[in-house]
Chains A and B, each alone.
Chain A
Amino acid sequence: MTTTEIVDTITVVIDGFEVSVPKGTLVIRAAEQLGIQIPRFCDHPLLEPVGACRQCLVEIEINGRAFPKPQASCTIPVEPGMIIKTQLTSDVADKAQKGVMELLLINHPLDCPVCDKGGECPLQNQAMSNGQEQSRFQGVKRTFEKPVSISSQVLLDRERCVLCARCTRFSEQIASDPFITLNERGALQQVGIYENAPFKSYFSGNTVQICPVGALTGTAYRFRARPFDLVSTPSACEHCASGCDMRTDVRRGKTLRRLAGDDASVNEEWNCDKGRWAFKYVTAIDRLKHPLVRNDAGVLVEASWPEALAVAAQGLKANVSAVLVGGRTTYEDAYGYSKFARIALNTNDIDFRSRLSSDEEREFLASHVVGSSTTYRDIDRADHVLLVGFEPEEESPIVFLRLNKQFRKRALKVTAIASKLSIGLEKLKGDFVKTAPGQEASAIARQVLTAQSIILVGERACESVGALSAVAALAGTTGAKIAWIPRRAGERGALEAGAIANLLPGARLVSDAAARVDIAALWGVDSLPSTQGRSSDEIIAAVHSGAIGALLVGGVDPLDGAQIPESLAALEKAFVVALEIAPSEVTMRADVVLPVAAITEKSGSFLNWEGRARSFEAAVLDSLNRSDLRILSMIAQEMGAAINFSTVTAAAREIATLGRWDGARASMTPVSTPQAPELAPDQFILNSWRRLLDLGTLQKGEENLAGTARQTVAVISPKRAQEMNVVDGDLLKISTAQGSVTLAALVEDIHDDAIWAPRNSRGSQLLVHLGVGHGAVVSVAKI
């Protein structure tokens, strides 16, 4: 169903041309509709007008009455009968603009030859288009120490600043992170941070991008390149499932920076600092360059591609094989793994969930997520958003920005079922439904929603038994829409591609004979395996039981999952073919290692949490690395079971022919929540999530970014802190049978039964050191 919004339009005359625009449109934007560019600095379409720079002055009259002074076109909405004269037709406007430009330049250092912005600078460009040829200023310019660091990743050059307040308005109005502000006055006015409080916003990079001069620069990019030496490629972000449109700038085969792209329906013009700055992993890590094969002596040695492919094919053919594929592959690559499992390995033993997962989740994904389309637009229209196992600011930052936009615009009601009150929820002034870890289901069942509500379900919801069943039930009774928001960029695509045991591509059920026939016909094979496959945990167990002898592993970090020792042992035991970009826990245990292309070296697409395709082209064009898809195709060829994907385009074309599936849909068998455990005085239930900036592999090599990560702490409630005689900063040792971590305590609003710690931050790698993530009982001692 589509609704047409009826918009009142107003017709005005600009430079003699009529234009009709929606009521409320600012004069400066109405002019854009006619292709008339009025110069501007402080104006930004996504920020509230401020009228500070005065560069956009025009002459305006309404019904014959002229404003006595030129008006800032960025602050005045159109009105019926308005006649506007810009610099093109008004000498007054032209002189006003040239005058303001001259004034802006008197204190500007004009160090363009060494400025990062030089060549793509709105001040430079508009000084050319709307300025005077010569400055009449012969006095002394204002000087400041330059640059000063306002965080580890952003540098401030106050001399270049034109005080447009875009950065401070962004921080306040978009990110709700008012870490920076304007202070002092007159020509000494300057952007600044509070004492001892650096600009630690997850979104700080946007201020660098929207700065109309070179006042804010990224530490990592400063003095690295000139814009005209860069080759820009539209791309998509590979970090989380938000699906940001991006631009990747490459010089001589090396990515030098990434910028937020402009997609009004997804990320608007923003992205998070991880998406912007975490790209050096591609070059920082020790990339695999050649195939490796384990020789008779048990040592991995370099091999030729034909040799490695032959050994891989032989090993996979000789054994009962399964596929483990991580959540970071592209949609096309995941489709390749899915087809490879069914055709070359004749199995449904495939799982993209190389993380904590559950069978309840698999059923939930098949019944409520695959093929569904809840979108950002739905958030814009929602009456109430319920967060379950999901911390938007940390796990899908653009979803946070959208929630924040609607909160600021219309006080959108947000409710979080969580154990700990988060910084993000505080910014959204959301309702905090304080729940013991593991007991989320009953809290979910109590929520009152409508058909206009949305339930945003994080991938962590599967860690609480029964929570997803409760979500399904709540949506069923209220009509609320469900959106599943995984952390990794590739998970939704992998789900749609059928890289999971119960689904074939395009929401077709493995258990449905008609669906199998449909896909078999598409793939040109007689039949497809009909028994439901194993989950990743079951695959590991089957390796140990001897039921599975070989594993094809792509983009998996075993340290991200449950039962790490068992996983590592299984990798030792089985015949393993690993597709990877760099040496890892998997490749060191593999029998054949095949290097693949990193994201910047290949084309493809991700499906973001909405299910929206975010396609991208290769940014680095001269890479010799091949995509997973191409390599899988070669192994399959070698095995005599062709999947026929010599290019990403071929896979995309085949995916496009899948079409909608109107056949049987999965149903979900509800799972009930077990009783809450009894806790001894020194026991807590663990609650954790991954922070946006942590020890994630894709953040390697970017120390400036790491410098703005949030502090690693263990959070307990005031009541428990009092009982244990703990104050902020005391050290707490959290232990399980597997091990322990020791963290500084922070006493905050959290369920009395719970202790929270970051899942994968420096000093707090819970899965590695404790062996558990969420809902497990841990012992805590003050030391």
Chain B
Amino acid sequence: MTKLVPVLSAHWDEKDSFTIEAYTRHGGYKASQKALAMEPDAVIQLVKDSGLRGRGGAGFPTGMKWGFIPQGDNKEHYLVVNADESEPGTCKDTPLLMANPHVLIEGCIIAAHAIRAKTAFIYIRGEVTHVVRRVNQAIEDAYKAGHLGKGIEIVLHVGAGAYICGEETALLDSLEGFRGQPRLRPPFPAIAGLYAMPTVVNNVESIASVPAIVLNGAEWYQSMGTEKSKGTTLYSLSGHVKNPGQFEAPLGITLRELLELAGGVREGHRLKFWTPGGSSTPIFTDAHLDVPLDYEGVAAAGSMLGTKALQIFDETTSIVRAVLRWTEFYKHESCGKCTPCREGTWWLVQILRDLDAGVGTEEDLNKLLDICDNIAGRSFCALADGAVAPIISSLKYFRQEYLDQLANKGPLFDPEESTLFAPSKAGV
């Protein structure tokens, strides 16, 4: 029995799924009609009742976030959609927007109505020009069809490719034309966000989940998922897996089940470690195959659900090399605002390069952990917490491999073996 429950991805297999015709054919833009006929507060209540939680990583209840916007304050309100998907491993918003951009547009119409905003901004990562073109076309079609331009406008903004701009306040700075660096909070965006006006910042998938909730009701959504993690979501499997891709399932599915759906780990190999929600979430090992992948389940096992980006690494992968690569990413993407992240990632990379080359002593592992302790929870935003998560968790599960590498005075793994073009070991 398949556990797949395609809601967002229901019609992705149709050739023209991204067009307004296809979307309308499957009942698109009926939800917005329904929502616009409702009181805004009723829409907020509906989303609260559905139990929908933010899909950008933190899992904050979406309806509650909307409810924070002060009402009757005679100010402009803004909806901002965070489509700056940039984390290593995270790859759900890009296919979603390629396959069905209109569900986001309809979600924007409903959300903007609920928070009494006239303008919604979609902030898309600059590198994904194919997505930008597709969303642009969809917005144009939605205007032509009369869904937009009658009280609700959508502005598409293309970022310049900085990971930090996925942090909501840095995104707002960037959207305003400044360098993307996180803002001091309070004030929170709900009080003073974009252009100092009350603003809701939501992930693409969160907003795209709303039309179905409006059409089918809160109870329908509540009926899926686990006790505190309701509904369905996109799980993105990548790496050493037979059929990588998007798997939409109710929250609470396990990696064991997802791997079955994806055809298992790369032929002839076994699972070594994996990320539950992108590179900023502490890694898991094959001991965690049955952890329920909902917000509470993953947290209880010592990591975070994050963006449900399940990167699968088999036994050919060097943990040291993988962690080094991730750390290099965080060093490159540190915005530079605060000391722990800026200087810390600079230092961590140097230590990990040594360890990867087999240079160092066990004392260096303790130093590495201590530096991580001086970075985590000391930085301005959560980026640095994410940067040290793979290091700390890898030392928790694979300390011996680090030591073996040092004893070997060099790499233990042939990088080529972990590549997809490596000779198959099937049947060996």
- Using a CB–CB distance below 8 Å, which chain A residues touch chain B? 49-55, 57, 68-70, 75, 95-96, 99-100, 102-104, 106-107, 136-137, 139-140, 142, 162-163, 182-189
**Complex Cα gap A136–B375 (Å):** 15
Contact call B338/A186, Cβ cutoff below 8 A: no
In the complex, chain B residues whose CB is within 8 Å of the CB of A55: 339
B398 touches A (CB below 8 Å): no
Q: Which residue of B lies closest to A92 (CB)?
A: B377
Give the chain A neighbours of B260 by CB distance below 8 A.
none
Shortest B248–chain A CB gap in Å is 33
Report Cα–Cα, A163/B341, bound state, in Å.
13
Nearest CB in chain B to that of A96: its residue: B378
B89 within 8 A of partner (CB)? no
Stretch of B97-105, B225-233, B312-320, B344-352 on the interface side: B344-352
A136–B331 alpha-carbon span in the complex (Å): 19
- Using A103-B344, A106-B343, A186-B345 as known contacts, say yes or no to A52 and B337 having CB atoms under 8 A apart: yes
In the complex, residue of chain B having the shortest beta-carbon distance to the beta carbon of A189: B336
Q: Which one, A51, A186, A188, contacts B184 given CB within 8 A?
A: A51
User: Is B413 interfacial (CB 8 A cutoff)?
Assistant: no
22 chain-A/chain-B pairs, Cβ below 8 angstroms: A51-B380, A52-B337, A54-B339, A57-B378, A70-B378, A96-B374, A99-B340, A102-B374, A103-B343, A106-B347, A107-B346, A162-B339, A182-B179, A185-B164, A185-B334, A185-B335, A186-B332, A186-B346, A187-B342, A189-B336, A189-B337, A189-B342
A69 to B, closest residue via Cβ: B377
B162 is an interface residue with CB less than 8 A from chain A? yes
Judge whether B3 is part of the interface by a CB distance below 8 angstroms: no
Please give me the 3 A-B residue pairs with the lowest Cβ-Cβ distance, nearest first.
Answer: A99-B374, A189-B336, A139-B350
Contact A186 B335 (CB under 8 A): yes
A54 near B336 with CB under 8 A, answer: no
Contact B379 A142 (CB under 8 A): no
Q: Report whether B378 and A186 are in contact in the complex, using a CB–CB cutoff of 8 Å.
A: no
| 0/1 interface trace, chain B 364-390, chain A, CB 8 Å (1 if under) | 000100010111011110000000000
Bound state CA distance, A51 and B381, in angstroms? 10
Interface residue B333 (Cβ < 8 Å from any Cβ of A): yes
Contacts of A68 in B (CB 8 A): 377
Would you call B346 and A106 a contact (CB within 8 A)? yes
A68 to B346, CA, bound (A): 26
B347→A49 contact, CB < 8 A: no
The complex places the Cα of A182 from the Cα of B335 at a distance, in Å, of 11
Is the pair B339, A52 in contact by a Cβ cutoff of 8 Å?
A: yes
| Dominant SS among interface residues on chain A | loop
Most chain A CB inside 10 Å of its own CB: which residue of B334, B340, B342, B351: B342
Q: Is the Cβ of B338 less than 8 Å from the Cβ of A139? A: no
Do residues B334 and A140 form an inter-chain contact, with CB atoms below 8 A? Answer: no
Contact A103 B347 (CB under 8 A): yes
A140 to B371 CA separation, bound complex (whole angstroms): 16
**What are the residues of chain B within 8 A of A187 when measuring CB–CB?**
331, 334, 336, 342-343, 345-346
Option from A50, A103, A163, A183 in Cβ contact (under 8 Å) with B340: A103
Q: Is the interface of B mostly helix, strand, loop or mixed?
A: helix
Q: Is there contact, CB below 8 Å, between B336 and A49?
A: no
* Measured CA separation A555–B343 after assembly (Å): 56
Q: A99-B375, A182-B336, A186-B331 are in contact. List 18 more A-B contacts (CB 8 A).
A: A49-B184, A53-B339, A54-B340, A54-B380, A70-B377, A96-B374, A96-B378, A100-B339, A103-B347, A104-B343, A139-B350, A139-B351, A162-B339, A182-B179, A186-B334, A186-B335, A187-B334, A189-B335
CB distance from B166 to the nearest CB of A (A): 14
Which of A49, A142, A185 has the largest number of chain B CB atoms within 10 A? A185
Q: A100 near B378 (CB under 8 angstroms)?
A: yes
User: Do A100 and B345 contact each other (CB < 8 Å), given the known contacts A140-B350, A182-B179?
Assistant: no
Contact residues in A for B340 (Cβ distance below 8 Å) = 54, 99-100, 103
Asked if A51 and B347 sit within 8 Å, CB to CB, the answer is no
- CB of B177 to closest CB in A, whole Å: 13
Q: How far is the CA of A189 from the CA of B374 in the complex (A)?
A: 21
CA distance A507 to B332 in the complex (A): 68
B335 CB, min distance to chain A CBs, angstroms: 5
Q: Are A107 and B343 interface neighbours, CB within 8 A?
A: yes
Residue in A103, A139, A140 whose CB lies within 8 Å of B339 = A103
Q: A50 CA to B337 CA in the complex, in Å?
A: 9
Inter-chain CA distance A189–B347, complex, in Å, is: 15
> Complex formed: what's the CA distance from A68 to B378 in Å?
11
List the B side residues contacting A75 at CB < 8 Å.
184
CB distance from A367 to the nearest CB of B (A): 47
- List of B residues within 8 angstroms of A52 by Cβ: 337-339, 380
Instruction: State A55–B333 Cα separation when bound (angstroms).
Output: 22
Residue of B nearest to A142 (CB): B346
Report yes or no: A69 in contact with B378, Cβ–Cβ below 8 A.
yes
Given contacts A99-B374, A102-B374, contact A188 B336 (CB under 8 A): yes
Residues of A contacting B367 in the complex (Cβ-Cβ under 8 angstroms): 136
Q: B residues 246-279 with Cβ under 8 Å of A? A: none
Contact A100 B374, CB 8 Å, known A51-B184, A142-B346, A189-B342: yes
Q: Distance (Å) between the CB of B151 and the closest chain A CB?
A: 32
- Cβ 8 A contact of A54, one of B335, B338, B350: B338
Verify B162–A185 contact, CB threshold 8 A.
yes
Whether B333 pairs with A186 at a CB distance below 8 angstroms is yes
Q: A189–B350 Cα gap in the complex (Å)?
A: 18
Quick one: closest B residue to A98, CB to CB? B374
Q: Is the CB of B378 within 8 A of A54?
A: yes
With both beta carbons as reference points, the residue of chain A lying nearest to B349 in the complex is identified as A139
A186 touching B374 in the complex, CB below 8 Å, given contacts A49-B184, A75-B184, A139-B347: no
The residues of B that contact A69 with a CB separation of less than 8 Å are: 377-378
In the complex, what residues of A have CB within 8 A of residue B332's CB? Answer: 186
Contacts of A49 in B (CB 8 A): 184
Residue from B336, B374, B378 in contact with A185 in the complex, judged by beta carbons closer than 8 Å: B336
Give CA–CA (A136, B334) in the complex, Å: 22
Q: Which residue of B lies closest to A68 (CB)?
A: B377
Query: What CA separation (Å) do A385 and B340 show in the bound complex?
Result: 45
Q: How far is the CA of A134 from the CA of B367 in the complex (A)?
A: 13
Report Cα–Cα, A121/B191, bound state, in Å.
39
Specify which of B184, B334, B345, B373 is in contact with A99 (CB 8 Å cutoff): B373
Given that A51-B380, A139-B350, A185-B162 are contacting pairs, would A163 and B342 also be in contact in the complex, using a CB cutoff of 8 Å? Answer: yes
- Closest Cβ of chain A: how far from B322's Cβ, in Å? 21
Task: Note all chain A residues with C-beta closer than 8 A to B179.
Answer: 182-183
B275 to chain A, nearest CB (A): 23
- Distance between B53 CB and nearest chain A CB, rounded to angstroms: 20
Instruction: Tell me how far the C-beta of B383 lies from the nearest C-beta in chain A, rounded to whole angstroms.
Output: 11
Chain B contacts for A183, CB-based, 8 A: 179
B373 to chain A, nearest CB (A): 7
Interface membership of chain B positions 54-87, coded 1 if the CB is closer than 8 angstroms to chain A and 0 otherwise = 0000000000000000000000000000000000
Bound Cα distance from A34 to B347, whole angstroms: 36
- In the complex, the answer to whether B379 meets A54 with C-beta atoms within 8 Å is yes
Say how far A781's CB is from chain B's closest CB, in angstroms: 44
Within the complex, which residue of B336, B338, B343 is in contact with A184, where a contact is CB–CB below 8 Å? B336
Q: Which residue of A lies closest to B334 (CB)?
A: A186
Q: Smallest CB-CB separation from A181: which chain B residue?
A: B179
Q: Tell me how far the C-beta of A189 lies from the nearest C-beta in chain B, rounded to whole angstroms.
A: 3
The CA of A162 and the CA of B377, in the complex, are separated in Å by 20
Bits for B383-415, please: 1 = Cβ < 8 Å to A, else 0: 000000000000000000000000000000000
With a CB–CB cut-off of 8 A, which chain B residues contact A137? 347
Interface residues of B in 344-363 (CB under 8 A from A): 344-347, 350-351
B331 and chain A: residue at smallest CB distance:
A186
Contact with A along B324-336 (1 / 0, CB 8 A): 0000000111111
Smallest CB gap from A51: residue in B: B184
| Chain A residue at smallest Cβ distance from B180 | A185
The distance in angstroms between the C-alpha atoms of A68 and B376, with both chains bound, is: 12
Contact between B338 and A53 (Cβ–Cβ < 8 Å)? yes
Shortest Cβ gap from B375 to chain A (Å)? 8
Q: Which A residues are in CB contact (< 8 Å) with B380?
A: 51-52, 54
CB-defined contacts of B378 to chain A, threshold 8 Å: 54, 57, 69-70, 96, 99-100
List, in ascending order, chain A residues with CB within 8 A of B339's CB: 52-55, 100, 103-104, 162-163
